[in-house]
Amino acid sequence: MGEQQRTIRQELQFEGVGIHSGRPVRLVLKPALAKSGIRFVRTDISNSEPIRAIVENVSEGRGRQTVLGTASWKIQTIEHLLAALHGLKVDNVLVAVNGDELPALDGSAKAYVDTILKAGFEEQDAPREYMNITTPIYYYEKDFSIAILPAEELLVSYTLSYAHPDLTDQFFSSAITPEIFTNQIASARTFCLKEEAEALRKLGFGQGANFSNTLVFEKNQPIQNALRFPDEACRHKVLDLLGDLYLAGQPFKAHIIACRTGHQQNLRVVKQLADYRTASYQYGERVLLPAEGGQWSQAAIKRILPHRYPFLFLDRILEMEPGKKIVGMKKVAVKEYFFQGHFPGHPVMPGVLIIEALAQCGGFLMLSKPGNLGKIAYFMTIQNAKFRQPVLPGDELRFEAEVVRERTKTGECVGRAYVGDKLVCEAEVRFAIVDGAPAEEEKQIHER
């Protein structure tokens, strides 16, 4: 019998101030059901719903911390707690927070780990399923790099190199087990260089930082403090990395080799990891995060729709009234793959692909509802489809769709596609809404 999922045995409470905000905050860790994952919720905001700690729900921050959230609320500096849960192999827990940042505590994950270990774990009736990483994953940007290599256990090798006289280069490499994490990584504290400290405060960082919860390095030594490890800065980078990696949404075994990375670089490789989730984890809860101006980019669209190149035909969602209507667009480029064989001498966008793009717009509208997040919309019927004008290379398609009927497992939209003010296509589309496409349910849909 393999490993089983586990949660914490009882509720645990932590209080302190946010290291960046400087505001007091209280969080409570609560046991959670098997297969529910790590979830965060804001208790100071009415009607706040828990969201999964997965990369799809990460909000763009300013680089000094990892931020999770929705379009209406955020929680920053979650990485130390996530590292503790990752390192101790906690699969399911609810994190209830009454503010927008987790408490700094002593700048490490030590208090989380000590308290969780004292309370103990509850083994659950569900297997701990590991992500299937079979090929190397790379991320490279200037002097930052991460490689994730297939392995039979979790290992991390990290190189810290600030190229600065106040902090010499450091290297740490180890397998990651609960025992090693507890004794060699969890107590490593956050840090910065002396010359960075004041500049960071002016930028709004570190309002709750002090010499006790932050190592401020000068000439390779912390000011008004003492090192817990000679390479404590490097070990803290490993701690941050393990926290960010847990946002993959599923445990995995691999050898992670990282050089000089911070949260931004870590999260870019975690986005790649998400594609390796096994089927039972693939369609976890996702949340809509609109881009500037209330629009949704293609990256945000991918958080809701399972479609990918070359079959994702939406570039942007321009506006949406949840559950009612939506406006999307696609720029029809000259280099679209379908023009290579569809009347090459007189290229025209295939009508069936216009219908598909229109349906994706309607599908996004229905799947973005909280109750449908993580589900898939399959075609059931297409009715009253009419093509009014050809769509040519260089045209900009605008899609307008409205929900006309919705039930628990089905939905129906009426949609129209325009180029400028000219109607080019219209159709009524009916969908079946299913949970992550289980094989038997998929079979039933095709038999209808």
Per annotation, catalytic residue among 86, 307, 342, 346: 342
> Residues 14, 105: contact at Cβ < 8 Å?
yes
Burial 378-398 (b: 16+ CB within 10 A, else e): beeeeeebebeeebeeebebb
SS3 assignment, position 408: coil
Cβ atoms 254, 149 nearer than 8 A: yes
Q: Which of 17, 36, 38, 37 is nearest to 27 (CA)?
A: 17
Annotated catalytic residue, options 20, 80, 236, 263:
263
- φ, ψ (nearest 5 deg) of residue 352: -65, -30
| DSSP single-letter state for residue 153 | S
d(CA 49, CA 230): 43
Active site residue 307: no
Listing from the earlier edge strand, what are the strands of the sheet with 24-31?
A: 12-17, 24-31, 93-97, 38-42, 51-52
CB 233 within 8 Å of CB 167? yes
Nearest to 283 by CA among 394, 397, 442, 124: 442
Instruction: Decide: helix, strand or coil at residue 400.
Output: strand
Evaluate whether 344 touches 391 at the Cβ level (below 8 Å): no
Integer angstrom CA distances of residue 419 from 55, 363, 395: 35, 21, 7
Strand pairing partners for 127?
4
Residues with catalytic roles: 263, 342
